Amino acid sequence: MIITREGVRVSDRRAVRGTVAEGFEAVREEFAAVVAGERPDYAAQVAAYVHGRKVVDLWAGPDTDGETLYGVYSSTKGAAHLLVALLVQDGTLDLDRRVAHWWPEFAAGGKGAVTLRDLLTHRAGVVGVDGGFSPEELADDRAMAGRLAGQRPYWRPGAGFGYHAYVIAALTGEVVFRATGRTLHELYEERIRAPHALDFFLGLPQEHEPRFRPVQPMDPTPEQRAELAAAEVPDAPGTLPSIAYNRNGERPTDIESLPNDRLVRAKGPASFGGVASARGLAGMYAAAVTGLEGREPLLEAGTVAEIGQLHSVGYDLVGRDHSSFVLGFQDSTYRYPFLGSGSFGHGGAGGSQAFADPRAGLAYGFTRRRYAFPGGAAPENVRLVRAVHSAALASAP
């Protein structure tokens, strides 16, 4: 038996596998402490790059290794909007142009003045559709876009912002398609994923299915169950959260099992349907900001800086609580306030987390198999991100 720095009893330190670079040993310690505090079947991965060099590549738990793939829910949005950022950098897309310029049908219902920047910052107000999406529509970004175009926004555009949980990248993806004739998925594969051989897929090819592990349902303690019940979005189909999470139709979506549907994985809806390993998540942000393993970064410094600017901060009309978005991404400093200004990324409902801290040259990825309490990026990320960030600052030349 071993006692860690935190005094946690660790029954099997060998539970943590993989490697860390010199100076990042504390991250392995912290991950081991996390594992020790979880149930025996806990399975997770954590990875990080500093200035493009892999410094953390760890995993733990049964039936898991560094190549295992998980459904990463909204961390998917990071892949989608990195592609959008490349097209903005190219000049193919203009952030301050009206969406209807590329996609005239979108002007319906009072959305004529909504810009691409508004879409990317959760300001358009079409977080779902009256009547809900069918499961087949939900798996198909273009089908969703078609219905969203005609929807009157749930708030007056300009009145604020709210998390477009299932649809933001169907909307931005439709702009990509209208502007380029190519899908966001194709362009992501071509310009980002394949060149870096990233294990972060928008649409999982059949040949990678053997590496995929289905999401396990949340298993809250009795205390956690009571907490969830108290905080619960009211179980009524007409509420704005119900619309945003597609619980307003005849076949309400069960979020926990969403990536377990092969149709979802195959089509990879760009707001929530991605499949990745922690290494793939971290690798993508490294490729974007610092370059991966010595290659040129995908994004220029000016693009990185613009992406990282705070855009929508305050009361989230869907989440009904405070939240904070930069351009197309979550403001990663909101959950991890010690990160550098301009950090950007996205976590996911099942527990995944991924971001870049450009000031520290850091890229981070985390996945886990079991849907985490209470939903959203898993709480153990707070400890892991702090350990990784501290080691990254200490390792600076």
Q: Which is nearer to a second copy, 228 or 266 (CB)?
A: 228
Kindly state the smallest distance separating residue 235's Cβ from a second copy, in Å: 8
Cβ 111 to a second copy, closest distance in Å? Answer: 12
Cβ proximity to a second copy, 164 vs 213, nearer residue = 164
Q: How far is the CB of 196 from a second copy (least distance, A)?
A: 26
Nearer to a second copy, 40 or 314 (CB): 314
Residue 199 CA to residue 375 CA, distance in Å, equals 23
Closer to a second copy by CB, 251 or 322: give it: 322
Q: Do the beta carbons of residue 198 and residue 353 sit within 8 Å? A: no
Q: Which residues here bind a second copy, judged by CB under 8 A? A: 110, 125, 152-156, 159-160, 233-240, 243, 305-306, 309-315, 317, 320, 322, 327, 333, 337-342, 357, 359-360, 389, 393
DSSP three-state, residue 244: helix
Quote the least distance from Cβ 315 to a second copy, whole Å: 5
Helix (H, G, I), strand (E, B) or coil at 3: strand
- Token pair listed for 75: 């961390």
270 residue type, one letter: A
Which of 194, 382 has the CB closer to a second copy? Answer: 382
Using an 8 Å Cβ cutoff, are 215 and 268 in contact? no
Give the whole-angstrom CA distance, residue 233 versus residue 14: 40
Q: Please, what is the minimum distance in Å from the beta carbon of residue 154 to a second copy? A: 6
Encode 15-47: b = buried (16+ Cβ within 10 Å), e = exposed.
Answer: bbebebbeebebbbbbbbbbbbebeeebbbbbb
* Dist CA 60 CA 14 (whole Å): 9
Q: Which is nearer to a second copy, 317 or 377 (CB)?
A: 317
Closest separation in Å from C-beta 251 to a second copy:
17
CA distances from 160 to 140, 156, 254 (A): 27, 8, 28
